[in-house]
Amino acid sequence: MAEGEIEAVAAELRLSGRIASEIDDLAPVGTAMGRSMGGRAEATAAGALSLPSGAFDVELLATARDLRTGTAALDALLGAEARLEASLRRDAEGMAIDRFQVAAADLDLDGRGHLTSAGGAFSATAHIADLGRVAPGVAGEATATLRGKGTPEGWDIEASAAGPGGASATAAGRAFLPGGRHDLEVDARFPLALVGRLVAPRRLGGEVSATLRLRGPAMLSAVSGRAALRDGSLSAPALRLSLEAIEGTASLSEGTARIAVRGRGREGGQLSLGGDLNIATPSLPASLQLELDRLVVRDRLLFDTEATGRLSATGNLLQHIDITGRIELGKTEVRIAPVGGGAAPLPPLRHVGAPPEVRRTLRYAGVDERTTESAPLPVGLDIVVAAPRLFLRGYGVDAEFGGRVRLGGTLGDVVPAGGFDLVRGRLSILGRRFDLLEGTLRSRGSFTPDIHLVAEAESADGIVARIQLSGPADAPELTVTSDPPLPEEEALAHLFFARGSANLSPLQAFRLAGALASLSGHESAAERLRLGFGLDNLDIRQDTDTTTFALGKYVTDNAYTEITVDTEGRSTISLNVDVGRNLTAKARLSDDRETGFGIFWQRDY
């Protein structure tokens, strides 16, 4: 609908009137503009136009409902209904916007300004009710102001913004100078807790502050300055890692950021990261070094270790990275997870109509069936992990291993080579001790190793029983075989009581059941004593007439001492010193003044 009038005054023609329009479907409009649009709109414009001067004065009012602009963030802010009011004019002095207002569900915008041949000025304010609409995971309101004053050389700019959690930023300087140059300085501070939902189930803490300057064209290579992180923290459950007291800096010059970050492990140790990152190149070339200094990595159910070493990451972060280096593990305890007595694993479940908070929990746990696998990050690996003293305990097992593993392949397909081999160990069941014949730990490219242990013994009635524990440490399988072949219960009955299970007394049957239960990984009294005295080894051996106690401890990283005492009053002290990779010196002194010393060379093929 349109209405108006035409008036001629001297040599000027003045047109005035009012135009109203209503569009039920904006899709054809979007097609004409080359965009995907939708929704409904109605608009009214009233004003006057003078010819040939081109002066005008227009009032505009528009309302859009269910608007889809093709930009998801903007659509989220506009919501179901958005309203625009504007007052525009042009005269002999220049052009002016006396009023420009947008009111929507989560966005309020107010601006005004003017432009003349000598310069101009403008100001604008914006308020976002919930920043999570445009930045998922960041909740809270945000405000921003922008002011500018034009000069013949360019524009003087002042801007500020404030967000949730104390986030803020200010900018000041000159923009659009001759040659497309800018001279702007930005100060900002941002609490990392604001992005908690983006990185969940990981958690971030601390605050980043930055002072940056743009001198030259609007390119990253023209930005310089410094950013700092203070009082930071990181919790990464999947990596069994928690860091605190993280401090770091990033110095930016000519498009390259020089990074230096250092943090303390919550359980002990230090971690530092340093190197260069080229942010001006789209592929993000990087050369970074990660250093670990006795950093404690712990899963209270499976393992406890401390790591020292250095890793290097080189390449393009968005194309291909190679991670190389070596990590030395200190004294490492691996616990075999209990089996038996627990609930059977749940069969695969299909969650129907689960609310968002349930879906989020499933996603954190990695069991959301709707989650699609993304392409793995192309990261090449060449990492050596060495563990000279690795102890495996549980299921009646008390064993020491040593060795190293090389992790090759890629992050998405880890190819381990090598492993950890048995140094000494035993398996204790029903008060009977079996020396381990075989023992290996092999990496599958994860924190949970595969174990393989074999112990063998012969019963008094000539039955040879072989006990084998194999599989991942968090779900191993126990098998008992014998020669001649017998069921597991029969083989154990012959091993411990030299008779078949049908001939066991009630007490013997009870003890046999206890032996089977001991293989479920429950902590024994001897294990509690070992932990209480801080020993690396506590062994209690019993034969017909004598009980022998052996107490062992590493006094240094390469020296192991053991004291043996029996109920007959005899005692022995021994010392093993690893002189080199394959060379060991051993010394022994007993209470009857018998001594021994030897040098042993050993190599595994």
pLDDT digits (tens, 9 = 90+) for 73-120: 888 888 889 999 999 999 888 899 999 999 998 899 999 999 887 789
Q: Is-contact 196 137, C-beta < 8 A? A: yes
Q: How many residues does the chain have?
A: 605
* Side-chain half-sphere exposure of 546, counting CA atoms within 13 A: 10
Report pLDDT for 465: 85
Section 282-288 average pLDDT: 93
Q: Is it the case that residue 285 has pLDDT exceeding 80?
A: yes
Section 24-44 average pLDDT: 87
pLDDT averaged over every residue in the chain: 83
How big is the chain by its Cα radius of gyration, in Å?
Answer: 37
From CA 113, how far away is CA 94, in angstroms rounded?
11
What are residue 364's phi and psi, to 5 degrees? -60, -35
Report pLDDT for 172: 95
For residues 513 and 241, which has the higher predicted lDDT (pLDDT)? Answer: 241
Q: Is-contact 450 392, C-beta < 8 A? A: no
Chain position carrying tokens 């052996």: 550
Q: Is it the case that residue 62 has pLDDT exceeding 80?
A: yes
Q: Is-contact 101 85, C-beta < 8 A? A: yes
Q: Is-contact 268 330, C-beta < 8 A? A: no
What are the angstrom distances between the C-alpha of 166 and each of 142, 160, 232? Answer: 10, 13, 16
Report pLDDT for 144: 95
Report pLDDT for 73: 81
Q: Is-contact 427 394, C-beta < 8 A? A: no
Which helix (H) or strand (E) segment is 404 a member of?
strand 397-410
Section 59-68 average pLDDT: 91
DSSP string, 223-248: EEEEEEEEEEEEEEGGGTEEEEEEEE
Nearest to 100 by CA among 126, 118, 130, 73: 126
Report pLDDT for 358: 66
Q: Is it the case that residue 204 has pLDDT exceeding 50?
A: yes
From CA 94, how far away is CA 105, in angstroms rounded?
34
- What does the block give as tokens for 318? 């968005």
Report pLDDT for 238: 73
Q: Is it the case that residue 502 has pLDDT exceeding 70?
A: yes
Report pLDDT for 75: 85
* pLDDT tens per residue, range 336-385: 765 443 444 455 566 676 776 666 666 655 555 454 444 456 889 999 99
For residues 84 and 412, which has the higher predicted lDDT (pLDDT)? Answer: 84
